[in-house]
Structure 1
Amino acid sequence: MEELLLCAVGDVAAFFKEPESMFVHTADILNEADITFGQNERHYTDRYTERDLLPGVPITEISPLAHAAALKLGGFDVMSFASNHCMDLGGDAMLGTIAALKDNGLVVIGAGKNIEEARKPAIFERKGTTIAYLAYCSVGRTGWEAGVDKSGCAPMRASTFYQQVDYQPGTPPEIISVANRDDLAAAIEDIKKVKASADIVVVSFHWGLHHVRGTLAMYEREVAHAVIDAGADLIVGHHPHVLKGIEIYKGKAVFYSMGNFAFDLPLSVRTQRQKKLGAKHAFNKVTGDPEYADWYSWPAESRVSMIVKCRVANKKISRVSFLPVLINSRAQPVVVSQKDGFEKALGNIRELSSSQGLNTEFCAESGEIVVRTRSPVPAEEES
């Protein structure tokens, strides 16, 4: 049976200006895949502006309607819109963006006119193999979740608790987060249902701690393990705007955050948002690079990205790897060569993963970083 290639990237938003330039360095790679996935981070509309934000929403992401066409240049087949921005402008605006993406040949998952549509998988038949995609959001505002007769996203909510671990006043608490039981049960039901007919199930989560290096929230691992136990074959995460570690659980890869991929942020826009969000917001605790001000005023850590590559043979994922990526001063993702920054990228993902106790081994092969389960240390070596 012929081998398949699946690719996935993190947050994507058609640029405010010159969107046709987004993928000039990566289009060939993304278009080579049999299926390419990305997370949509922006509304595409000529009807709505930030004056139409729902009450309590300080900022959103909007590009002109015509800019959605630029996503075709990236070779995307399926995109999630299960995000913390999907309902910023209300249900009609969200559905308009979904329509714009569909008009440009994309299958949209994770959001819709009701909960049935938001939880509906995208199913592809490629070379005799059936691949399904599902998407959920953990970081939406209250009310962003879809309902029986209400538009929104497919939720994977979590609750947070703070436990004092030392009797001394003012000491840092232990932060405990647990998945919403109903949301997790619904996702498990979705996965089991689609797994009955699909060979491979890819699950996308918009989750985690944004602008925080390394740290994984407790609920992320709980959810990841539960959905793999239910039949998921690959998990791809996004939202934090930085890379996070990679885990292998029961032979299945969990990319906790693939970072930004193609997502411009001029300094002028950043400055406006800083004022609206307030000094205590995480976005205002990181600093953009002045040399990147015209196009990409994200912090340096947000310039580090990846293209996930999964090879499929005999209807199973046979190899998981990624291409390390750096985002240049024009906000364009560029694959890191083995001669320029590759070893640094390898060291970075090793540190991000080991800092969270993830059992992952990484090795360089043919310009890619291959992801494997770390071999257990023999007992005699431990002693």
Structure 2
Amino acid sequence: MLTVHATGDLVLETTDSRELLSAAGPTLSAADVVIGQLEVPHTTATVQMSADVPAIPGPPEALDGVIDAGFDVLTLAGNHAFDFGGEGIADTRRHCASRGIATTGAGANLEEAWQPAVVERNGRRLAVLSVNCVGPRESRAGSEKPGCAYVDVVTHYEPRGANPGGPPRVFTFADPRGRDEFAARVAAAATDADVIVALHKGLVHQPVDIGDYEYEIARAAIDAGAIAVIAHHAHIMKGIEVYRNRPIFHGLGNFATVTRALGGAADDTPERRAWARERVRVFGFTPDPATPDYPFHPDSRNTAIAAIAIDDDAVSAHLIPCRIDQHSRPVPLARTDGGEAVGAYIQSITRDAGLDTGFRWRGDELHITIAKETT
């Protein structure tokens, strides 16, 4: 059997992340393999290459706490992967490699970005693929351009009724050629390994909305042979789906996230101040001023570690509820000490998304109902 723990976003604008990850480290390390999403480049580069709201780079030494917490694989594909260009990507990969952490999803060119991170434990071979589904376009790798692996997503807006300019119906779908290339990459990796696919996807700060393209791409991964799909980007948890007896975690939310990039402070850049104003208008929340390093939706403090167990062809999964405390630390919870409330939240957003996933408690773990394989 192989056990895997996976988390949501890591945003580590701190020179020492050990304290930030200290409460979760023992729980994470209990698995054979630990996977996390490294949201920002860890580099000393300073030239910004993104037209979006740029990240603040993470210090390379922050990765010391990541390895101490037990992480084995970091996925890099995301909207901030190219914020500091090819130098930022190369630095991040190099700093991770020097600490024995495997990376996937970004590289010096498209072929390198598509290469899975492969680890072997307990006689099993695990391959992790990391793919960006949200843009921006400059984050995408090319045959001779650094960037990340990606699937292009098309958005179509249709006016409702007799209200030009009113709220439209929104349809999203993957570019068929990109989706087929993605599926072929998953299938190739699945020929000699158990495959987990990490998708950067979803509408930020919204716990219930799951777009059509999210189902399409996640299910395409399972159809191609993946044993599980994990996702991140929205900075808030999303519902959990079981498709063909395989778990799809549509959004694992935040995990360890400390940043000043989204606070909109008076001495910040015009782009970041504009984003802070827009956040209130579009998403309807103002971050807690008592925790300026955690500028996210209040509900995003509900999070979890996804636990996946692989035994021959059978896959089981459960959640370890966590709560992000006032020091921005993700803290695993016993069921009787806050875990019940986090579990109820996860079940509620899953149900409100229209998913009929079954859950049951086993001790402090919230297990996901997955039918046994049939032949």
Quick check: TM above 0.5?
yes
Amino acid in the other structure paired with 2:357: T
1:139 to 134, 137, 141: 134
| Residues 1:80 and 2:78 are matched in the alignment | no
Structure 2 matches for 1:214-225, cutoff 5 A? 214-225=208-219
What is the match of residue 343 of structure 1? 340
Describe the SS at the equivalent of 1:95.
helix
| Residues 1:21 and 2:19 are matched in the alignment | yes
What is the match of residue 244 of structure 1? 238
What is the match of residue 2 of structure 2? 4
Question: Share of identical aligned residues, percent?
Answer: 28
Q: Report the Cα offset of residue 303 of structure 1.
A: 1.1
1:364 to 361, 364, 370: 361
TM value normalised by structure 1: 0.90
CA distance in 1, matches of 2:3, 2:100: 19
Q: Report the Cα offset of residue 128 of structure 1.
A: 1.6
CA offset digits 1:8-30 (Å, max 9, x no partner) = 00101234254221211111111
Describe the SS at the equivalent of 2:251.
coil
2:31 to 30, 33, 50: 33
What is the match of residue 292 of structure 1? 291
- Structure 2 CA distance for partners of 1:127 and 1:286, relative to 1, 3 Å: same
CA offset digits 1:255-310 (Å, max 9, x no partner) = 000000001135995533641426334787421123323x4232211211110111
- Structure 2 CA distance for partners of 1:41 and 1:168, relative to 1, 3 Å: closer
| Residues 1:117 and 2:112 are matched in the alignment | yes
CA distance in 2, matches of 1:276, 1:164: 27
CA distance in 2, matches of 1:15, 1:61: 7
CA offset digits 1:45-84 (Å, max 9, x no partner) = 23x23xx212624321312222222211121111111010
Contact 1:278-1:284 within 8 A present in 2 as well: no
| Residues 1:233 and 2:227 are matched in the alignment | yes
Q: Which runs of structure 1 show a deviation greater than 6 angstroms over 4 or more consecutive aligned residues?
A: none
1:156 to 144, 151, 155: 151
Contact 1:235-1:255 within 8 A present in 2 as well: yes
Task: Give the CA RMSD over aligned residues.
Answer: 2.1
Amino acid in the other structure paired with 2:345: N
Contact 1:346-1:362 within 8 A present in 2 as well: no
Q: Report the Cα offset of residue 340 of structure 1.
A: 2.1
Contact 1:267-1:296 within 8 A present in 2 as well: no
Amino acid in the other structure paired with 2:225: G
CA distance in 1, matches of 2:260, 2:89: 24
| Residues 1:202 and 2:189 are matched in the alignment | no
Contact 2:13-2:56 within 8 A present in 1 as well: no
Unaligned runs of 5+ in 1: 375-383
Amino acid in the other structure paired with 2:30: E
Contact 2:11-2:259 within 8 A present in 1 as well: no
Q: Report the Cα offset of residue 203 of structure 1.
A: 0.3
Contact 2:262-2:275 within 8 A present in 1 as well: no
Describe the SS at the equivalent of 2:360.
strand
CA offset digits 1:331-378 (Å, max 9, x no partner) = 11001221122222222112111112112011111200001159xxxx
> For structure 1, which segment, 9-18 or 280-289, has the greater mean C-alpha deviation from structure 2 after superposition?
280-289
CA distance in 2, matches of 1:192, 1:169: 44
Unaligned runs of 5+ in 2: none
CA distance in 2, matches of 1:325, 1:317: 26
- Structure 2 CA distance for partners of 1:327 and 1:191, relative to 1, 3 Å: same
- Structure 2 CA distance for partners of 1:357 and 1:151, relative to 1, 3 Å: same
What is the match of residue 321 of structure 2? 324
CA offset digits 1:225-246 (Å, max 9, x no partner) = 1111111110000000000000
